[in-house]
Structure 1
C-alpha cells in the first residue's frame, strides 16, 4: 500500500486535485464563508481514539467531540478538510463544498439519479405511498444542488486551479456549491409539488396514493407510523 509520500509524488504530476467536502462541514458558522475554519478537533487524535477504544466508550465520547455540531457526518467531513489542508503547497488542491446533491437539472436528462440516497430516497418513498408521515417542520428549508450543476462547478474549479499559479504558503482555494437564496423550497412546498406532479408522472409499482403528513410532534409521529404498520399487516 502506498504511503503519503508516494501519494504526493504521484499527484504532483496532476494539474489539479479536487477534494469534495460539503457545505455543511461548518454548520456552527453563519455565514459559511469560502475559507478553512479552525479544526473542531485534531484529526490524528480522533483517529487514534476511534482505533483504540471500544464502541461503548466511543458512544459516550461522541457528544463531547461533536459539541455544537449536529452529527458525526458533519464532524468527520470537517476533519477530512483538515487532512487535505496539510498537503497545501505540495498538491494542487481545490476544495468544493456542495450542499445536498439531488437529481439532475438537465444533463444527461432532467431528473436522472443513480441512487436513492438522501432526499431522492425520501421522495421516491413518498411517491410509492410507503412514507406517510414525516417528523420535521413544514417550514424547514434545505439547500439542494442538482448533481449536473455541481459537476460543472467541479470542472470549472479544477480548471481555475490547474491554470492558476499559487505560492506554497497560499491558502487552498475553496468554493461553496449551493443554491443559497436563489432557490428556497420548504418541505411543505416540496411535498405539494410532488402531489401536483404525481398524476402526470406516477412512479412504478405504487403501493398507495401519495399522501404525506408533516408533524413536529414525536408522539403523533409514532402513533401515525404504528397505525400505518398495522394497516400493512392487515393487508398482508
Structure 2
C-alpha cells in the first residue's frame, strides 16, 4: 500500500467565522501564553485520565487568571459527578495548588456527560452554558487499550470526537480546539509527517456500520478494516484526526500527537505518574522482577515523551492556533525520537540499574529481563518465568489464607507485552518541523519559560537522570512505597539474589543429573 497523499483543509484567518474572537486581550495574547488564558472558560474531556490530571493542574497553577474549567464526567463506581470531582482533586498531583492556592479549585466544575452518548449526554442547560461561554476546548477522552474491540474503540475514539466537534461548531466564542491524538495514528507508515493522512476507511461509514451491525458482523468488519494498522486504537485515532481536519474549515483546530507518555520530567514533581498502563506498568513489573522476557528489537529507538512536555504542548498549541493563526490546520508530533533518542537497549540498561539501586519493598523476584525477537522463545520463557512462578505463588497465598492474585497479574502484563510487541519491534521517523516552530514561538513568548516543551539534550534533558526520577516516581506514586522502606527493600533484594542463585544451581544440577542418568 502506497503512502496516501496528505490532505489538508485551508482557511483564511481574516475570513474565519470566529476571527473576531481570536484573541482574549488584544495583541497581548500573541506575546503572553498566560495572557491568552486570562478569563478563559475551558471545556475538557477525559479529565480523569493521566494526561488530563496533569493538564488541569498545570492550568490552575500557571494560568491562574483563567475563569473556569468545565470537566466532562460521568457517574462511575457508584459515585456521582460531584463525588468523582472531589476524588479527582484529592490526587497528589494537586498538592502544590492545595498548599499555595486552594481557592483555585473553585474554578473547576464537573459537567455530567459521556463522549459515547448522543450529544455527549449533556443536559440542555449544560449544553447551552458551554455553547454560550466556552472559548477553548481540549479533547483527549479516549480508550487507549490496544486490544479494545472495534465497537468500543470507534464509539469512544471516533464517534466521541465527532460529537465533540459538533458541539464546538455551535460554540459562539471558540478560540481554539485541540485534539489529543497519538503519534502512532499512522503506524502503518515509517515516515510520519505533521499532517493528517487520508484514513483507510471513511470514518462516518464506519461509525454508521457499528451502529447497525450485530456483534458478529462487527467482528467480521474488524478483521477486514484493520489493514496494516496493528490494532483498533491506532485505526480509530487516525479516523478521528480526519474528522478534526474536516471541521478545521469551520473551527480553529489543532492536533497534538504524543508518542509513549511517561512520568513527568519536571512538573508538578519530577517522576510524577499515577497509572500503570502501557510502558509504565511494564517498567514497574521489570523493577518488581515479575517480567523476565520482552519481545523487542533492542536496536530500535524507543519514543518516550514525559507527561509535562505533553501537557505544555497541548496548552501552547491552543495559544499558537489562536495567537499565530495559520492557513492550514497544524499537527504537532510531540515525540523525542528525532530530537533526543533513546534505544530500547539503553532503556533496559537504565531500568535494571535504577531498580537495583532503588528497589521497592514490593519486589517479588530478583529484577532481570531479556529482550527477544523470537516469539516462540518468548512464549516458552513467559510460561517458565512468568506464569509458572505466579501459579506457585498463588498456591502459597491460598494456603496462607491470602487472596491468590499473582497469576491474574502475570496474565495481565503478559497480555500487555503481547499487545505492545508491534511498537517494541518497529521504529518510526516522526517529522517535527511544526513542533520545532512551536518551541521557537514559546521561547519568544514573554512567559514561555513556564511552558517547557523542549526536551533536547541542549536544553538539559538527560535520560539517565530521567530514568532515575521515573523509578522513584513509580515507587512513590504508583506503589505508594515511601523512600524510608529502601533499607529493608535492599535486604529483601539481597535475599532474592541468593535465592535465585541457589535456584539456578539446583536447576542446573538437576538437568545435568537427568542427562547423565539418560546416558547410562
TM-score normalised over the length of structure 2 = 0.42
Deviation at 1:20, TM superposition (A): 0.6
Distance verdict in 2 for CA 1:127–1:221, change over 3 Å: same
8 Å CA contact 2:295, 2:373 repeated in 1: yes
Alignment partners' CA distance in 2, 1:43 and 1:77:
10
| Residues 302 and 337 in structure 2, CA contact (< 8 A), matched pair in contact too | no
Map Cα deviations across residues 139-194 of structure 1 (whole Å, 9 max, x no partner). Answer: 2322111111111111221111121345xxx4312111111322222222212111
Aligned ranges 1:124-143 → 2 under 5 Å? 124-143=284-303
Find out whether 1:231 has 2:231 as its counterpart: no
Deviations 1:99-150 (A, max 9, x none): 1111111111221112111111110011111111112222232211111111
Unaligned runs of 5+ in 2: 1-118, 120-126, 128-162, 397-520
* Alpha-carbon offset, residue 71 of structure 1: 1.8
Question: Which residue number in structure 1 is paired with residue 336 of structure 2?
Answer: 179
Q: Which moved more, 1:52-61 or 1:123-132?
A: 52-61
Match of 1:34 in 2: 194
How far apart in 2 are the matches of 1:184 and 1:50? 39
Residues 30, 227 of structure 1: alpha-carbon distance in 2 compared, 3 angstrom cutoff: closer
Deviation at 1:232, TM superposition (A): 3.3
Task: Look up the match of 1:113.
Answer: 273
The structure having more radius of gyration, on CA atoms, is: 2
Whole-Å Cα distance in 1 between the matches of residues 392 and 273 of structure 2? 34
Report the secondary structure of 2:256's partner residue: strand
Structure 2 Cα separation of the partners of residues 14 and 36 of structure 1:
22
CA distance in structure 2 between the aligned counterparts of 1:234 and 1:193, rounded to whole angstroms? 30
Q: Describe the SS at the equivalent of 1:198.
A: helix
Give the stretch that moved more between structures: 114-123 or 51-60: 51-60
Matched, 1:210 2:367: yes
CA distance in 1, matches of 2:227, 2:355: 41
Which of 348, 354, 366 matches 1:191? 348
Cα distance in 2 for residues equivalent to 1:19 and 1:92 = 11
- The residue aligned with 1:201 is 358
Higher RCO (CA-CA < 8 Å; seq separation 6+): 1
Q: 1:213: how far off?
A: 1.6
Mark the runs of 5 or more structure 1 residues left unpaired by the alignment.
none
Q: 1:53 aligns to what?
A: 213
Task: Please give the alpha-carbon distance, in whole angstroms, between the structure 1 residues aligned to 2:256 and 2:228.
Answer: 23
- Corresponding residue for 1:79? 239
Structure-2 change in CA distance of 1:19 and 1:5 (3 Å): closer
Residue 70 of structure 1 corresponds to: 230
What is the CA distance between 1:6 and its match in structure 2? Answer: 4.9
Q: What's the CA shift for 1:42?
A: 0.4
- Measured in 2, the distance between the counterparts of 1:62 and 1:5 equals 26
Would you tell me which structure has more helix in proportion to its own residues? 2
For residues 71-116 of structure 1, give each alpha carbon's deviation from its aligned partner in whole angstroms, at most 9, with x where no partner exists.
Answer: 2111100100112222223222111111111111111122111211
RMSD after superposition: 2.0
The equivalent residue for 1:146 is: 306
Residues 22-71 of structure 1, C-alpha deviation per residue, up to 9 Å, x if partnerless?
A: 11111233421112222221011111222222333333332431222222
Determine the C-alpha separation between the residues in 1 that align with 2:392 and 2:337: 45
Contact 2:258 2:333 (8 Å CA) reproduced = yes
Aligned in 2, Cα 1:212/1:21: closer, same or farther, shift over 3 Å? same
Under a length normalisation based on structure 1, what TM-score does the superposition of the two structures give? 0.89
Aligned residues: 232
CA distance in 1, matches of 2:392, 2:294: 22
